[in-house]
Chain A
Amino acid sequence: MSSPSIAQYLLPVLVVLPLGGAFLIQLLKKISKLISDIIANFILGVLVVLVFSLLNSPVLVYKVGGWMPVKGIPIGIYLVLDGLSLLLLIIINMIGLISLIFSISYMRRFTNRPLYYTLFLLMIAGMNGVVMGGDLFNIYVFLEVAAIASYSLVAFGTEADELEASFKYQVMGTVASAFILLGIIIIYSITGTLNLADIGRVLKDEVTEAPIILTGVLFLVGFGLKGAMMPFHAWLPDAHPSAPAPISAMLSGVLIKAIGIYTLVRIMFNVVGVIPLFSTIMLYISAISMTAGAFLAFAQWDFKRLLAYSSISQMGYVMLGIWLMTPLGILGGLFHMLNHSVFKSLLFLNSGAVVYGTGSRQLKRLGGLNQKMPITSSTSLIASMSIAGIPPFNGFWSKLIIIMACIQSRHFFLAGLAVVVSVMTLVYYLKVQRYAFWGELQLTLKDIREVPFAMCFSMILLAFLCTIMGALLLPGVKELFIDPAVNTLVNGREYISLVLK
């Protein structure tokens, strides 16, 4: 981008464009059914280009409506773009675009596709808003926009299972929002402001310990529920499999990161500061998520349900890396977050392709699909190897860094646990491969075919990313993508002065 003064005007565009597109689709849906496919894919394509054009930019602050700070106190709405936001924006919009390409073919069997695209774009707008939000008010509002869109997308099939899962998800989600709102109110009553940077500035002057710990706990419960950390995970294995496959990919690959992990990390690292007790609790939570998620995934026979439990387990890795609070750990955690979004969405798209081809997602009823669906089968093999951490693929590098970071900060038990869980991951993905793709072709599946081009294309694209993303650690590329995000977290409360300057 040429100069920061022009680049900062791109920030509201990232929210306004999908928001406007969502309503445009509803206006134009009468003309042709195809038009909603075109508009949604076009908008996501533009968003991806915009996000990549923001690479390598300094910290950008956009003040909505041009409300300048009064006596150094910010009064307007801030949109902030720094390294961490940019990493999340890349994940959201890239996975969003690929899921939408997949949807062109996959959603043909659903009625009312324009509504699907509208909700999809609303979810994208909400998540873009969350990761750029510079104050708690907007983070809360955009978080609800994304969450409400995802509730209705989970129920999109309107079958008995989907409705039940969505209701459960929504009750949990509303309770989570209540806790988050309570935390926000308490923060407001202590500091008298909701701007993240301003909260940090006020708290630096007068840290009153007990209320901050209370808000920490409230945010932990709220964002923990949104991000399906282990004691709060009950909704995820129902909600994620019930959604249509591209939405499962978005929920597991993006949503739980953007509104669960990102928000908690942003508030704790950059604004209020982490006390050692909190990071210890988070380490325990991530270790429990990692292990228990793997055990529960092990016992599943439903393809998508297994993937959902696996998401809980892999999110444990991400949090384990980040909450070690060492630069190496944060690097591993964020890199694993990026990798997980790629291979988990690929696996969910694979499961969608299997459902599309065979009509079933029960592993026991499948078998021998690699003869009939070579592309689905080979891409899912790549994704399974990536998530299990087999060397040339991306998952290996991020897990290696996380384990090294555990050893470096003398958490030998956690390092051992991470290795064991990684082996378990390999075993349950081999189970998927064995029962779904290898073995004898069942008689009932004699006349299935490979899925249409758009679905194959998006799966191949993601498999390609799985293979080459280890290269993001090479010097030169690392400074562009991951280092700015790592520095945002390592520098912690320097965020405050960067935004308020």
Chain B
Amino acid sequence: MTYLLCSLLFLVGLSGVLLKRNLIKIVISLTIVEYSLFMFLALVGYKQNAFPPIVKSVAEEANYVDPLPQALVLTAIVIGLATTALLVALAVRIYEKYGTFDIREIRRLKG
């Protein structure tokens, strides 16, 4: 069920990237795509009734959580922050040059 929600979010974001014509809305759609993946990653790493992975606290055969997805999701969030910040900064500069956020009017490059 939750996996279904993740894929739905992913598709919502992806269709936003493809269909929206406003630069800021494209940035928001990209963020939605990224966040759906973060949630998916956190869910993949979820284990029921598990212990935190600190080796000496409980017996060796105990049910540990793998710290890998959590580390990955944290890193991915930070990367996502950097991309979003850069995209928004670019969008602002584009607005200064073109006077619009509409991608139909921002098309000097073609061919």
Contact = CB atoms under 8 A, between A and B. Distances in A.
A223 B66 CA distance: 27
B68 A170 contact: no
A362 interface: no
Interface string B98-111: 10000000111101
A174 B87 contact: yes
Interface in B2-16: 10, 14
Interface in B70-111: 71-72, 75-76, 79, 82-83, 86-87, 90-91, 93-94, 97-98, 106-109, 111
B90 A155 contact: yes
A270 to B, nearest CB: 21
Give the interface residue-count category, chain A.
Answer: 35 or more
A188 B69 contact: yes
Per DSSP, are chain B's interface residues mostly helix, strand or loop, or mixed? helix
B68 A194 contact: yes
B30 A174 contact: yes
Contact of B72 (A137, A189, A300, A305): A137
Interface in A136-150: 137, 140-141, 144, 148
Contact of A170 (B44, B79, B87, B109): B87
Contacts of B82: 144, 148
Interface stretch (A157-165, A343-351, A375-383, A426-434): A157-165
A137 B94 contact: no
A164 B71 CA distance: 34
A167 B44 contact: no
A192 B47 CA distance: 12
B101 to A, nearest CB: 11
Contact of A166 (B41, B76, B90, B107): B90
Interface stretch (A177-185, A366-374, A388-396): A177-185
Interface in B45-82: 66, 68-69, 71-72, 75-76, 79, 82
Interface string B15-39: 0010000010010001001100100
Contacts of B98: 160
Nearest to B87: A170
A217 to B, nearest CB: 15
A237 to B, nearest CB: 8
Contacts of A181: 37, 41, 76
A163 B30 contact: no
Nearest to A239: B109
B90 A175 contact: no
B90 A163 contact: yes
B87 A238 contact: no
A335 interface: no
A323 interface: no
B17 to A, nearest CB: 6
Contacts of A174: 30, 33-34, 83, 87
A148 B84 CA distance: 11
A68 to B, nearest CB: 14
Nearest to B71: A137
A151 B86 contact: yes
A171 interface: yes
Contacts of A168: 109
A166 B106 CA distance: 12
Contacts of B68: 137, 188, 193-194
13 contacts: A140-B76, A148-B86, A155-B93, A164-B107, A167-B87, A167-B94, A170-B87, A174-B33, A174-B87, A175-B33, A185-B41, A189-B44, A300-B111
Interface of A: 137, 140-141, 144, 148, 151-152, 155, 158-161, 163-168, 170-171, 174-175, 177-178, 181-182, 184-185, 188-189, 192-194, 237-238, 242, 299-300, 302, 305
Interface of B: 10, 14, 17, 23, 26, 30, 33-34, 37, 40-41, 44, 66, 68-69, 71-72, 75-76, 79, 82-83, 86-87, 90-91, 93-94, 97-98, 106-109, 111
Given A164-B106, A302-B111, 13 more contacts: A141-B79, A144-B82, A158-B93, A160-B98, A165-B109, A166-B90, A167-B87, A167-B90, A170-B83, A170-B86, A175-B14, A189-B44, A300-B111
7 closest residue pairs by CB, A with B = A160-B97, A238-B109, A189-B44, A144-B79, A178-B33, A163-B94, A167-B90
